A and B are shown apart, each in its own frame.
Chain A
Amino acid sequence: MINLTINDQFLSVPAGTTVLAAAQKLKINIPTLCNHPDLCVAGNCRVCVVEQKGARTLIAACATPVSEGMDIHTNTLKVRNARKHIVELLLTEHRSDCTKCYKNTKCELQALANEFAFGDTIFLDLVEDHPYTIDRSSPAFTKDDSKCIHCQRCVRTCAELQYISAIAVANKGAHQKISSFHDRPMSHVVCTNCGQCVNRCPTGALIEKTYIDYVWDAIYDPDKHVVVQTAPAVRVALGEDLGYDPGERVTGKMVTALRQLGFDSVLDTDFSADLTIMEEGTELLTRLKKILADGDKKTRLPMFTSCSPGWVKFIEHKYPEFLPNLSTCKSPQQMFGALAKTYYALTKKIDPSKIVSVSVMPCTAKKYEADRPEMRDSGYKDIDYVLTTRELAVMIKQAGIDFRILKPSPYDSVMGESTGAGVIFGATGGVMEAALRTAYEIVTGREVPFNNLNITPVRGMDGVKEASIKIEGCTEEWKFLEGVELKVAIAHGLANANKVMKRVKQGKAPYHFIEIMACPGGCIGGGGQPIPTNSEIRENRIKAIYSEDEHMILRKSHENPDVIALYKDFLGKPNSHKAHELLHTHYVERDNY
């Protein structure tokens, strides 16, 4: 243990603790900006400088480990003057159009300015000294260099968590900027649109493309029938933007709010998550049958999940030779979209050209996914607009709804019913767990041999998880699987995905089925989720997801009555010709630069 004093208060902390963390233990607040708990230490904004007695310079609290006998002062005149200067300097490079900015009142620089740099500054405005670009090329987010404060959170996110480095530092000195490969527009570089950078940007330099006004226009258009679907991870995080603590489930209130916003039908992506399990589970079993029973040499294993559009784009760029391993199933969002303008239209007797299909997602990559040219199997654009969790919170506020007093209400019918299996899609390991619940039962006629259906080995926050389940007592149709040890792996965050893919490439991955989610923690940690997102908040959201699952009467996808009805009335059976037309897709090999 290391002994030190901070502001004359004594404490002992383990070696390696930073001055910042030590101060936090004493509830002493040191302002930070470039620091983020998910990322490696940068120490480049210098907002957190504090005074160490006897040191030649001030020290960055976030980047300096404690040492024996340290005497730290966090609020001396020297510190205050330096901090004020630093925040003022940051503001001179930042285009402060705060009142019009999407991040207004949610901007970390604004908060610091409010504390340290209010009033007139003595420094000169530098914004117009540098040519800047506002890159709107990505369908998922906007990158506005004029608001960038060079904290490099996005750069570290993209490199450390996602192994992409779509954004990186270029040039030096006054010309230093956060750029992309060869300064290309974001739509033309290896970017998965995951939005993890957007989630960590302290200012308005990286924000999601908002479609709020388009959705309002649709809602107020009397000729349009506007359906909305909500992803599983939205209901456990939306509350955070509306005054609740992380981990609060607000499902019923959210449904009521959406109805009050004026959506004609409020439906559930959980329904199509259940449907995904039926399609993807059947696809897996078919692949296993082709290989194990038919000796087919062309079929590929392991099969990868395909619900995360960030992951799909990652593999298209980085490991295109493994695209045949990727499940052909569309993501739940896109299955829903394809059905909204076919099955739903038919059932509700509505002209599909009049339907506007909106989804609320924890994700920015879903905006990109909805724009993919393959996603028009209904004959129309399957999903018209994708909103993030954050955008929905904005709409609720715009409508003047007092979220806290709303009474919960259930989803509308036809594609509104769901099971616990659909809910857990929102957490890492959830798709795997849902798939196993159904596939095991199809093959053996019995429930998965886990207490209360909770397949705990696939849960948790480890970057890469492995599990296996021995298949015993198969029914006649699946005899070829008797005694097979079904091996699965789960990865979340693309850096972890890359670790798994490296092993797959080396032939050192003996799995049958691999679930991969682009974002840390799965969808609950998505790029479109409330800010901040960090490991503690992710854990809380995951707890809420599993609690939602436990509270459901139905917890297996194949028991979803709306799914059963869909197959009976419309699709026939899983992986039928019609199901393939509407619910499956293909992929594109992309450049790796």
Chain B
Amino acid sequence: MKNKGLNKVDLIFEKVNLKEVLIKAFKMSGDEIIQQVLASGLKGRGGAGFPTGLKWKYTAAEKSPEKYIVCNADEGEPGTFKDREILDRVSYKVYGGMAIAARAIGAKQGIVYLRGEYRFLLPQLMKELETFHKIIEEIGYDFKIRYAMGSGAYICGEESALFESIQGDRGEPRNKPPYPTTSGVFYKPTSINNVETLVTAMMIIKHGAETFTQLGTKDSRGSKVFSISGDTPTPGIFELELGMTVLQFVNEFGDGDTKAVQVGGASGFCVPRKKFTDTIIGFEGVPTGGSMKLFNSSRSMYNVLHNYLDFFAEESCGQCTPCRVGCQQLLKGVEKVKKGEAKSTYLNELVKLADTMKVASKCGLGQSVGNAFRTIVENFREEIIY
């Protein structure tokens, strides 16, 4: 397959006239908006990649006088900082995206769940929100947004744990089904979308679905904002067209000595140098919510893995067995192997455990611990053992 190469795009941070876009959007019916978003092929930008149009369609189909659009701004994946930048620079576009989503699904209330560590942004966000509410009022549309604050738990970025947190309960993921589109925050039909997804959706409405589908690949349409960190001379936020290979990415952002790229943060996949050429960044290869961390040859991949496992053992909510105990076993297990207190073949048993966690954990956290574990252990086995 021919890949797209590396192209920088300016969609998310492009200045727009909010009122004009909203007037255009509100002239469309909810269904027309949904059709546009479906046609664009937009998938959720938080990492899981669920088709946004479908999510809106399911929520719209629910017959309930009370529905919610929730913006997931609990950006907690290690190595991700793009939502912070979006909120900092173009929060009015986030609000705009929420209003369009609200129109699509039939919600009158929106909630932004803001990461606890981003509280410092709140004063400017509230100021922007005031302006937004004025515009909405001028247009004569019935929609209000409010903020709910996180308190630093990674798990509260999981949609159902996030709802529990908004409701004032302990942030623990729920059993699914029911899915949020049926029973979300306050057990009402809810569409929950990532900050970037909402902005992208608004830009799709502004420019039309075709403009968007011209970018990216069949499985990964459009562009996305990447948070680039690690061993790179140019760390920061970059909006790139989807469909490039890891090699093209490394050629642009690497320091000439890149041995691995962790795509998608702690819950994502480790791509070693030998796989740079044929790994596409996107849903056909390695999906990412935006976190791209480059490691050069001075880094110990044992330390990288240990750091991730330590993080998960701390940030698991602790309710389900595979995740709570599994994370501790993986962490303690690699420590034993490193110290020579367990045989190197013990790593094989731990990989099997990671597989169990993937299929038996209650939510995405426990299910994705195995991604980094497996890819690091398989590709850098000698660094874990010796």
Contacts and interface: CB of A to CB of B under 8 A. Distances in A.
Contacts of B177: 64-65
Nearest to A93: B325
A92 interface: yes
Interface stretch (B250-258, B298-306, B360-368, B378-386): B360-368
Interface in A60-77: 60, 63-65
A86 B332 CA distance: 17
A47 B319 CA distance: 13
A78 B359 contact: yes
A172 B317 contact: yes
B325 A173 contact: no
B320 A44 contact: yes
User: What is the predominant secondary structure among interface residues of chain B facing chain A?
Assistant: helix
Contacts of A172: 153, 155, 314-318
A150 interface: yes
Nearest to B320: A44
B317 A176 contact: yes
A44 B321 contact: yes
B170 to A, nearest CB: 6
Contacts of B353: 85, 123
A116 B321 CA distance: 15
Given A49-B360, A64-B177, A82-B359, A173 B329 contact: no
Contacts of B359: 49, 57-58, 78, 82
B360 A86 contact: yes
B314 A89 contact: no
Contacts of A553: none
User: What is the predominant secondary structure among interface residues of chain A facing chain B?
Assistant: loop
B326 A89 contact: yes
B333 interface: yes
B322 interface: yes
A43 B362 contact: yes
A42 to B, nearest CB: 8
A173 B315 contact: yes
Given A64-B177, A126-B332, A176 B319 contact: yes
Question: Which of A49, A60, A64, A174 has its CB near the most chain B CB atoms (within 10 A)?
Answer: A174
A171 interface: yes
Given A126-B328, A126-B332, A44 B316 contact: no
A173 B326 CA distance: 10
B327 interface: yes
Contacts of A46: 320-322, 360-362
B313 interface: yes
B129 to A, nearest CB: 30
B362 A173 contact: no
A63 B319 CA distance: 14
B374 interface: no
Question: Which of A43, A46, A58, A63 has its CB near the most chain B CB atoms (within 10 A)?
Answer: A46
B117 interface: no
A43 B336 contact: no
Contacts of B346: 122
A102 B312 CA distance: 35
Nearest to B153: A172
B324 interface: yes
A292 interface: no
Interface in A132-178: 149-150, 152, 169, 171-176
A105 interface: no
A405 interface: no
A171 B317 CA distance: 8
A86 B327 CA distance: 12
A236 interface: no
A109 to B, nearest CB: 11
A90 B321 contact: yes
A509 interface: no
Contact of B327 (A49, A65, A129, A174): A174
A81 interface: yes
Given A58-B360, A86-B356, A173 B321 contact: no
A176 B325 contact: no
B288 to A, nearest CB: 19
A484 interface: no
A445 to B, nearest CB: 56
Contacts of B312: 173
Interface in A90-133: 90, 92-93, 122-124, 126, 129
Contacts of A13: none
Contacts of B327: 173-174
Contacts of A149: 321
A45 B332 contact: no
Interface residues of A, number: 38
B322 A85 contact: yes
Interface in B329-354: 329, 332-333, 336, 346, 349, 352-353
B318 A152 contact: no
A41 interface: yes
B362 A44 contact: yes
A31 to B, nearest CB: 13
Nearest to B324: A176
Contacts of B315: 172-173
B367 A57 contact: yes
Contacts of A169: 170, 172, 318-319
Interface string B153-183: 1010000000000000010100101000000
Interface string A29-59: 0000000000001111111010000000110
Contacts of B317: 172-173, 176
B358 interface: yes
B336 A174 contact: no
A123 B317 CA distance: 21
B179 to A, nearest CB: 12
Interface string B283-296: 00000000000000
Contacts of A129: 328, 332
Nearest to A168: B170
Contacts of B316: 172-174, 176
A43 B349 CA distance: 26
B356 A85 contact: yes
B49 to A, nearest CB: 13
A449 B360 CA distance: 60
Contacts of A90: 321, 325
A49 B320 CA distance: 12
Contacts of A81: 352, 356
B322 A86 contact: yes
A58 B358 CA distance: 9
B362 to A, nearest CB: 6
A73 to B, nearest CB: 13
Nearest to A49: B360
Question: Which of A78, A89, A126, A171 has its CB near the most chain B CB atoms (within 10 A)?
Answer: A89
Contact of B318 (A42, A65, A89, A150): A150
Contacts of B318: 150, 169, 171-176
B175 A89 contact: no
A60 B362 CA distance: 8
A45 B321 contact: yes
Nearest to A177: B318
A124 B360 contact: no
Interface of B: 153, 155, 170, 172, 175, 177, 312-322, 324-329, 332-333, 336, 346, 349, 352-353, 356, 358-362, 367
29 contacts: A41-B175, A42-B319, A43-B175, A44-B362, A46-B321, A49-B359, A57-B358, A57-B367, A63-B175, A64-B177, A65-B177, A82-B359, A85-B352, A85-B353, A86-B321, A86-B356, A92-B329, A122-B346, A123-B353, A126-B332, A149-B321, A169-B319, A172-B316, A172-B317, A173-B314, A173-B315, A173-B327, A174-B318, A174-B324
Given A86-B360, A124-B336, A150-B318, 18 more contacts: A44-B319, A44-B321, A46-B322, A57-B358, A57-B360, A57-B367, A60-B175, A81-B356, A85-B322, A85-B356, A124-B329, A129-B328, A149-B321, A172-B317, A173-B312, A174-B314, A174-B327, A176-B316
**Which A-B residue pairs are the 8 nearest by beta carbons?**
A176-B318, A89-B325, A63-B175, A85-B356, A44-B319, A43-B175, A173-B316, A82-B360
